[in-house]
Each structure stands twice: as structure tokens, then as C-alpha cells.
A and B are shown apart, each in its own frame.
Chain A
């Protein structure tokens, strides 16, 4: 089931990984042009703040800064979290909708195993996305002159996005366990991700809405900021999306164990 689930989501995951490759290579290719820009001014601009930019570290490499802005900002949550959320949301509900869950559960396969394999498959999907990011960054540093990274901060940023994706998968699994239509469940999970993204952008847009930023995972796992400012403050915050993902995943399992499977 684990491999079957990954196989069923292969188009979405491949699209996400392809997009990462394209962004990474574009940043590498355009690096000479970026050198003429005033990056400090850009980072303190309102748009960069919306997507999670922050003050520049003392010697943050330019390639790292643009990777942070173009890939690891809150866009990462919106794009790749959205894709993964859709895949996770559809993963169980799709089998309910097409009736194949009946054949699977008529085998010696418990509901818990079914659910957990789906969950793990989606976590693996998230791992593929992160691995592609790391690989893209590594290849870019080998291929493009002046494309350098401070790997310590870059890896910590990836830890942040891993925590966000963990939350997304937990939420998607919960939605999928509760619904019976694949596309609808995927759509709901994606909408939740979009809501989280909007919480981040509106939450940083002004003081009156600042409470919103606490509702989205980016506040607790500010991946882009880690790269640009080369600081990792309050690492305990990372536990918030991880714990929330775990709680949602377990709640989904509990519900799935009890529910009638009706399409």
C-alpha cells in the first residue's frame, strides 16, 4: 500500500520536485544578474516580509539569499505544502471513492495498517520534496560559479520545512480519513494550506492582524529567515507544527478506526 500510494501520487510529487529543480537552476543561472540588485533593500521591503524574508546576515551568500526567498519562503508551504496536502487528503478518500478500499480491507489488512501506510507514504512524499531541494541546491553549488551556501543554516531551514510538511501530512491524513471523495478531500486539505499561507502573509502585513501569524506554521518554522539571517532562534517553536501534525494524524486514525466506510 505504501508504494501503491506513492505511485498514485507520483504526478503531483514529480511536479513539485520538477518545480524545485527549475527554481533552483533559475536562481543559479540568474545569479550574475542578481548581483547588481540591492538585496538589503529588497529584504526589508514589504513583499519580502510577507513571504518570510528578514534582515540579512553578515556574510550570507547571495545564492543562499535568493534560494531562501524564491524557494524557502512561505511559498514553500503554499506550493509544496499544497501539493502534499492534496496528495495526503486524497490518499485514503480516493480508495473509498473508487471502492478499492473494500478489496483491501477484505484482505488481512487492518484499518490501522491501511491508515498508517498511507500516512507514512505521504511523509515519504514530503521527504522526496525536501531531498530534491537539498539535491538541487547541492548541484547548483557544483555547477554555477559563485553559487555558495552555508550548509548549516540551509540544513536547519530544511528542518523547518520538514516540520511544516509533517503538519501538512498529518492534517491531510485527518481530512482524508474523514471524507469519502478523493478530489474533494484533496481540495479541502489544500484549502487549509492556503489558509495557513494567508495567515502568514496577512499576519505580517500589519499590526492589527498580527495574531493571524500564530495560526500558520511558518511562524514556528521560519525556514527562509534561518537562511537569510543565519540565526535559529527559539528552536522549540519547531515542536508546535510537529506536535500539531502528530495530533491531527492520530485523530484521523482514531476516527478512521470507528467510521463506516461509505462512498
Chain B
């Protein structure tokens, strides 16, 4: 299914969550975002930014101080049961009951879901876990796979995942990413918080970045890639004036590596750079996409200054 063909599955409007106390903590400050049907939506931010608080508000485990949350067009609080019958959830921090076997655990939670675990067979093929072993004997990765299975087994329309691949080995991560993409193609909507930027880059269609309770960006991955720009590695056979490179339109930064060798960071079209380089004798030329990680980290930075031409938070608020 194409992304966004049936409207928003998750619609958060001006969400505020303040934890009361002697010194009230404003964990989430006026967040608004929409997640479209069939979309894998990444929710990123440093520790303590408000990701889990937002997710727990979506689930009606925490009660928002202000704002409105709709899921499937229904009110997240008033219609919680109707919403939750169509939803799967993977918590980020849970201690599983060690005296249960994996099978008992899955039986217990599929009974609570009130629907058949129709995807269980497929999930068990992909995420192999010892079903009859007690959970206390599970490794961290196995426990995570079990949580993934319970989130997806009843074939939900929306899954909310709080750091889903923490503890998985690279093979497990890849397997999860593939599964997620397959399910999204079937129409599943995913709201996922993650610290693993590579995973976000591989799987998500769009990402939101939250910092200190405020949304600082909502962007498509493609747009972020554009924003990250490209890195041109060039080695000149003849001498070149560094200022000449800096003055080329689109060039953000020039770094002199060694004699005649430069790293040119650029945003936008590469054409002006190629034309400028063509005036010189080139010994070596390579063009790489700048890592997206750098963009995320700039959003994470406390001063919020997106070096390298990133726009300010005000410019990139969700429409």
C-alpha cells in the first residue's frame, strides 16, 4: 500500500505533558505530528527528550496535560479500547516475568488482545526463540525478539515501538528491518522510537526529532539526505586556491587533508563543483553521500544550531 493514501493514523495536536511535583517537569511541550497510513515514522531524540513520554501518552498510560491525540480517527483516551484492539506495542523498558516460558507469555498476551495470533508462525520462522524455555534463561536479544513477536503477532494495523532493536545482534536487526519493510508494504503503520540511526535511515519514511520536549524537526528521510548533502573528495595534480573552492555555489565547507587533497562538503547540486573542478587537473575524485547520522546529531545538539546549513527549528516545524 502506498504511504498516506488513507489519511492520518496517528494525529497528535499540541500535546503537552507535565509531571507534577515540587518542581514540575515539562517532559513534552506542544508537540504536533501526524503519521500516515502505511508509513514507518521514526521518532528520534537524545535520552530524556520526551520520546517515551509521548509514546505512553499515545497509549493512554500517561494522561496528557493538554492537547489532543487521535488514533485511527478515534480519541486516544475515550476510545482507548477500540484503538488498542487494532494496535501492537513494544515497550522500551520492561522486565519480563522470568517464571513463564515464552509460549506461556505469548499465550497470555494474545488472550488479552482478544484476537488470534495469526502472524505468530511467520514471526517464529523469522525470529527463532526457544518457546518452551523459561524467560529467566533468555538472553537480552531473545527477550527483545519475544517482545517483537508479541507486538506483531495479532496482525495489528499500527505498531508503536519504543527502541525495538536494542539488544539485537546485527543479523537480528537486519531481519527486523526487513520484516518491518515487508509489513509496511502490506499497509502496516509504524511509529518507532530508536537510537540506532542506521536503522532509522534504512526503514523510516519520515522522522521527527524531539529535543528537551520540543519537536525540532519533522522531515522525510529523502529530504534529510538532501540536507546532509554530499562529500566530494578531490586530489589535484596542480595547485589550487582553497578560496576558489569555497566560493563555488553550494559548497558548505572545505577541508584541506594533505598536499593537493581536499574534502569539499556540499549541499544541493553538484554541477557547479564539477564545472569548477574541470578547470584543474584532477588526480582523484570521489563523491559520497554525507552520513545522515551527522544531521541527526546536529538536531540533537543542545544549542540547536544546525551547522552545515541546517535550518533552524522554527523553519522546519511540521506543517
Contacts and interface: CB of A to CB of B under 8 A. Distances in A.
A102 B56 contact: yes
A188 B170 CA distance: 45
Given A1-B112, A261-B61, A102 B84 contact: no
Contacts of B290: none
Interface string A183-212: 000000000000000000000000000000
Contacts, number: 69
A262 B89 contact: no
Contacts of A4: 108
Nearest to A263: B93
Nearest to A108: B85
A15 interface: no
Contacts of B63: 258, 260
Interface string B78-116: 001110110111010111110000000000110011100
Interface string A1-40: 1001000100000000000000000000000000000000
A261 B17 CA distance: 13
Given A261-B61, A261-B62, A99 B93 contact: yes
A109 interface: yes
B60 interface: yes
18 contacts: A4-B108, A99-B91, A99-B94, A103-B89, A103-B109, A103-B150, A104-B112, A105-B60, A106-B61, A106-B88, A107-B84, A107-B85, A107-B109, A108-B113, A109-B84, A109-B112, A261-B56, A262-B19
Nearest to A97: B95
Contacts of B114: 107-108
A102 B59 contact: yes
Interface of A: 1, 4, 8, 97-110, 258, 260-262
Contact of A108 (B84, B91, B93, B97): B84
Contacts of A97: 95
Counting from the closest, the 10 A-B pairs by CB-CB distance are A106-B89, A99-B94, A98-B95, A108-B85, A107-B112, A108-B81, A108-B84, A102-B91, A261-B61, A260-B62
Given A99-B91, A99-B93, A260-B19, A106 B59 contact: yes
Contacts of A100: 94-97
Nearest to B55: A102
Nearest to B63: A260
Nearest to A104: B112
